[in-house]
Amino acid sequence: MDDLVTARLVLHPMTVDDALRVMAREPAADARWAPGYPDAGDVTGANRFVSTCAAVGDPQPFGAYEIRRREDGCAIGGVNFHGPVDEDGAVTIGYGLVPAAQGRGYASEALREVLRFAKASGVARVDGDTEHHNVASQRVMAAAGMLLVAEDERLKHYRITWYDDDTRPWST
């Protein structure tokens, strides 16, 4: 699986070994990690990826990606598909950045690239959610074209859809 590259970022597909290092918070000898990376969200995403690999095999290209700055290769967060595309053509995503990288447009840039990639790969729908107090994440999803579709007592749920039931590219 190749890296996904944007103007300022490299979204590097993780291997199980990469994810295990994140879970252990022990970088490879050649890795560059920003202070605060990985955080609890990165560890959770790596754990989900490893569990998915154990249950159904490596879901790449719909797995976990480490977000790295192009300028220095330093890991600043992650963006993850929460498993392979389901029978409805949908995937769920999550993302996060270390505090020092927040507020610079990196999350928007990474999310836009993941959505572009998902659409180009024939995905019909991408879902994501955020806690009510996380206004920055709500703005990132809205700016990337995701719509608020539901809320519950804890979360706001966002979605972007590209195909209706009659045009799904995976229909038989």
The CATH number of whichever domain residue 45 belongs to comes to 3.40.630.30
Whether 70 maps to a domain, the answer reads yes
* Cα separation values, 160 from 83, 91, 154, Å: 17, 10, 20
Q: Which residue has the tokens 């955080």?
A: 39
Whether 30 maps to a domain, the answer reads yes
Is pLDDT above 80 for 168?
A: no
Whether 171 maps to a domain, the answer reads no
Return phi, psi of residue 50, to 5°: -65, -40
Banded model confidence at residue 1, pLDDT cuts 50, 70, 90: confident
Question: Cα-atom radius of gyration of the chain, to the nearest Å?
Answer: 16
Q: Which helix (H) or strand (E) holds 49?
A: helix 40-56
Q: In the chain, how many H helices and how many E strands?
A: 4, 8
Is pLDDT above 70 for 120?
A: yes
End-to-end, the C-alpha distance of the chain in Å comes to: 27
Q: Considering its fold, how many domains does the chain have in total?
A: 1
Banded model confidence at residue 134, pLDDT cuts 50, 70, 90: very high
Is pLDDT above 70 for 170?
A: no
Whether 172 maps to a domain, the answer reads no
pLDDT of residue 162: 93
| CA 95 – CA 77 distance, rounded (Å) | 8
pLDDT of residue 169: 47
Q: pLDDT tens digit string along 65-111? A: 999 999 999 999 999 999 889 999 999 999 999 999 999 999 999 99
Whether 166 maps to a domain, the answer reads no
Q: Which domain holds residue 41?
A: 4-161
Whether 62 maps to a domain, the answer reads yes
Whether 170 maps to a domain, the answer reads no
Cβ proximity of 124 and 168 under 8 Å = yes
Specify the pTM. 0.91
Whether 167 maps to a domain, the answer reads no
- CB-based burial, 42-69: b 16+ in 10 Å, e otherwise: bbbbbebbbebbeeeebbbbbbbbbbbb
Q: pLDDT tens digit string along 20-74? A: 999 999 999 999 999 999 999 999 999 999 999 999 999 999 999 999 999 999 9
